[in-house]
Amino acid sequence: MHHVVFLQDLAVVMIIAAMVTMLFRRLKQPVVLGYILAGVIIGPHTPPFPLINDQHNIETLSELGVIFLMFALGLEFSLKKLSQVGVTALLAASFEILLMVWAGYQLGRSFGWGQMDSVFLGAILSISSTTIIIKALEEIGKTKERFAQMIFGILIVEDILAILMIAMLSGFATTGSLAVQDVAVTIGKLACFLGVLLVAGLILVPRLLNWVARFKSDEMMVVTVIGLCFGVSLLAVRMGYSVALGAFLIGAIIAEARHIAHIETLMKPVRDLFSAVFFVSIGLLIDPQLIMRHLTSVLLITLVVVVGKVLACGFGTYIAGNDLRSSVRVGMGLAQIGEFSFIIAALGLSLKVTSDFLYPIAVAVSALTTLLTPYLIRSSDAVVNGMSRMMPGGLMRTLDAYTNWVGKLASDNGARKTPAMFLRKWGWQIALNLLLIAAVFIAAVFARDHVHQAWPTAPGGLDGVKGMLWLSAMILSLPMLIAIVRKWQAFGILVAEMSVTHAAAGERTPALRGVVSGIVFIAGCAGLFLLMLVLSTAVLPSRNLLGILVLVLIAIVLLLRRAFIQVHTKAQFALQETLNEPALPHRDPQAPSLPSLLRDASLVTVVIPEGSPIAGKLLAHVKLRTLTGASIVGIERDGESIINPGVSEEIRGGDSVLLLGSASQIEKARALLIQGAS
C-alpha cells in the first residue's frame, strides 16, 4: 500500500506543479517561482487540508533534486571561461560575499536574533542563484553578451566559495567558534579533496566518456553519467562533505569532456524533473502565517540583498577594469539568492542551530528577488543612462580613464611572456604537486587506525602498519616529488638569470648565476624535506624500521626513476589534453552525416618534452604523417603561433604542437613525439 501512497503524492506534486508553471509561463514569470508556489499550495500549512500524505517521500526525492541541480550547476562550470574573466570574477565575488555576510549578520543582530541565526543569515544572503540567473538571461536572450559571461564567471567563483563556506559553517555550528587553526585545517583538507578529485577526474573521466561515446548509445551515456554523479556524491559524503559538493565537482569534471554538449542535452530532462521536485519541496516548508509575522524582516532583507549586491558586484567588477555600463549590468544581474541559500538554510535546520523561521524567510526573500531579477536586468541600461546624465562630466571622464588604464595594463601583460610569468606558472605547478602529496599523506593518516583494526595481527603491530603506510605514501608521492625537484631546479636557474645580469657582473656572471641557482635549489630541497617530515609525522614508524624503509625507498628511486618521470609526464599531458581539447558540438541524429574524414578527425594539442628524440629535428626528417597518418597543423612556441608549419620548421623541446587526425592516428603520433622522454 505504501507504493500507492508514494505514487499518489508524486502525482499530486507533478500535476499541481505543471498547472502552476503553465500559468507562470503565460504570465512570463520565472518558472522557479511557480514550483515554489505549487509547494505552498499542496503544503501542510495551506487550508483546508494538506494534499500530501507522506512528506518524507517528497523530501527523499528532493535530495535527488539537490544532487541533479548541483550536478547541472557543475556542468555550467568551465575552467576556460573562468580564466577569461578570472580577475573580475575573483574580485567581484570576494567583495560581494564579504559585504553581504557582514550586512546579513548586522541585520540579524538588529532584529534581535541570536548569533547563530545572524551568521547563517549573512551566509544565506551572500550567494547568488546560478539557476535563476541563467533562466532569466535565457528568457531575455542575453546569455552571449559580455556582461553575461562575467556574471557566469562570478557565479563559478561564488559556487567554489560557497562550498568552502558550507564546510566552515558546519564546524562553526558544531563548536560555536571558528579558530584560525580550524579554518586552516578545513581549508587544507578541502583543498586536498578538491585538488585530487579534480586532477584524477580530469585525467580519467573524459577518457571514460570518450570510450562510452564510441558505442553511440544515449542510454549507455546517461547511465554512465548518472552513475558517476551518484558515485562521487557518495564519496563526498564518506569524506565528511555534502552530496551537493560531490555532485557539483563531478559536474565540473564532466564539463571538460569533448561530448559535454551531448551530455547536457541528455541530462536536461532528468535535471528538470528532479529540480522541479526540489523547488516544490521548498514550497512545502513555507508557512504563509509565519512569513506574515516576519513580513517587515522579509522586506528589509530583500532590500538589503538587492541594494547590497548591486553595489558590491558592480563595484568589484568596475575595480577589475570594466566599464561602468558592464559593471552596473553585472551588479543588477546578481541581485538575488537561490539554491545555495536554501542548502545553507537547510544545513542550519539539520544541525538544529538556527530558528525555524529562518528557512521560510530565506525562501520568501529568494522568491521576491527572483521576481525582481528579470526587471532589474532589463532596466540596467536605463539606470546607466540615467547615471550618465546625472554625473558631472569630469567624474565620467575620470571613470573612463581608470577603465582604459586598467585595460591597457592587462593587454600589455598578456601581450608578452616575461620571466615572472614563467615563475608564476611553475609556482602553480609546484603548488599543485605539493597539494597532491599532502592528500596522499592525509589518506595514509586516515587509513592508519582502520588498517590496524582490520589487521590486528600485522607484522610489527601498529609500528608495522605505520611503516607500510609511510612507504606506500612515499612511493605514490615519488612522481610528484621528482617533478617538484626538477621544476625547482629550473626555477632556480631562471631566478639566477633574472637577478644576475651581464651588465652588473661582467665576466663573473656564469659563476654568480651558478651560486644563486644552487642556493635557491638547496633552499627549496630543504623546505621540501621539512614539509615531508611534517606530513609524515602521524605515520612515521620507529627509527630502526624507518632506516630500513629509507634504504628501500632509495633503491626504488634509483631503479625506477625514469618510470616515475614517465608516469608524471603522461599524467601531465593527459591533463593538458583534457583542458585544451575543444568540446564537440551536439549533432542532431537526423542531420546529414559529414564525410568520414571530417567526422572522425580530431584536433589535439601535445607538448614536446625536452628529452624527446625528435626535439631539434626538422619536420621533413620526422616524417610524422608518413609514419602515423596525423599532421602537425600548428606550433605554439614562446607565446607565438606558427600556422601550417613547413617541412623546414624545427621541432623544439617545450613546443605545443597541434595534431590533426583520427583517434588512432593521434595516439601513434603522440607515442612518436614523446617516446623516450625523460
For the cut 70, the answer to whether the pLDDT of residue 64 exceeds it is yes
Tell me the CA distances in angstroms from 115 to 354, 456, 512, 573, one per residue in order: 9, 47, 59, 50
Q: What is the pLDDT of residue 15?
A: 92
For the cut 90, the answer to whether the pLDDT of residue 223 exceeds it is yes
Helix (H, G, I), strand (E, B) or coil at 26: helix
- Give tens-digit pLDDT for 344-401: 888 888 888 888 889 888 888 988 887 788 788 888 888 888 887 888 877 777 877 7
Q: Supply angle C-alpha 504, 508, 512, rounded to 5.
A: 85
- Per-residue confidence band for 595, with pLDDT thresholds at 50, 70 and 90: very low
Which range of 38-42, 583-587, 619-623 scores highest in mean pLDDT? It is: 38-42
Tell me the CA distances in angstroms from 501 to 493, 510, 515, one per residue in order: 13, 10, 14
Cβ–Cβ < 8 Å for 58, 5: no
Q: What is the pLDDT of residue 590?
A: 45
Q: What is the pLDDT of residue 139?
A: 67
CA distance 567 to 572: 9
Tell me the CA distances in angstroms from 53 to 3, 12, 139, 308, one per residue in order: 12, 10, 36, 41
Which residue did the predictor score with more confidence, 552 or 503?
552
CA distance 373 to 309: 12
Which residue did the predictor score with more confidence, 85 or 232?
232
C-alpha neighbours within 13 Å on the C-beta side of residue 107: 23
CA distance 51 to 48: 9
- What average pLDDT does range 404-428 have in this prediction? 63
The pTM of the full predicted model, rounded to 2 decimals, is: 0.69
Q: What is the pLDDT of residue 310?
A: 92
For the cut 80, the answer to whether the pLDDT of residue 178 exceeds it is no
Q: What is the pLDDT of residue 481?
A: 92
Tell me the CA distances in angstroms from 565 to 569, 572, 617, one per residue in order: 6, 10, 23
CA distance 246 to 235: 7
- What average pLDDT does range 507-532 have in this prediction? 89
CA distance 586 to 636: 29
Q: What is the pLDDT of residue 597?
A: 46
- Per-residue confidence band for 642, with pLDDT thresholds at 50, 70 and 90: confident
Q: What is the pLDDT of residue 676?
A: 45
Q: What is the pLDDT of residue 124?
A: 93
List phi, psi (to 5°) of 216: 55, 40
- What average pLDDT does range 244-255 have in this prediction? 85
Q: What is the pLDDT of residue 305?
A: 94
Our measurement of the distance from residue 550's CA atom to the centroid of its chain's CA atoms, rounded to an integer in Å, reads 38
Our measurement of the distance from residue 440's CA atom to the centroid of its chain's CA atoms, rounded to an integer in Å, reads 21
Cis check for the bond before 48: say yes or no (omega within 30 of 0).
Answer: yes
Q: What is the pLDDT of residue 220?
A: 94
**C-alpha cell, 261:** 554538449
Which range of 98-102, 128-132, 400-404 scores highest in mean pLDDT? It is: 98-102
Quickly count: other Cβ atoms within 10 Å of residue 316's Cβ.
26
For the cut 80, the answer to whether the pLDDT of residue 269 exceeds it is yes
Which range of 138-152, 162-176, 499-513 scores highest in mean pLDDT? It is: 499-513
Percent of the chain with pLDDT over 90: 17
Q: What rounded mean pLDDT belongs to the chain?
A: 81
CA distance 590 to 307: 49
CA distance 669 to 603: 12
Q: What is the pLDDT of residue 596?
A: 47
Q: What is the pLDDT of residue 593?
A: 46
CA distance 521 to 535: 21
**Domain range summary for the chain, segments of one domain joined by +:** 2-382, 419-579, 596-674
- Per-residue confidence band for 490, with pLDDT thresholds at 50, 70 and 90: confident
- Give tens-digit pLDDT for 272-302: 888 788 778 878 877 788 888 888 999 999 9
- Give tens-digit pLDDT for 605-634: 888 887 777 877 878 778 788 788 888 888
Q: What is the pLDDT of residue 84?
A: 63
**C-alpha cell, 657:** 604542437
Domain formed by 2-382, architecture: Up-down Bundle (1.20)
Q: What is the pLDDT of residue 291?
A: 81
- Per-residue confidence band for 176, with pLDDT thresholds at 50, 70 and 90: low
Helix (H, G, I), strand (E, B) or coil at 426: helix
CATH 3.30.70.1450 for the 596-674 domain, yes or no: yes
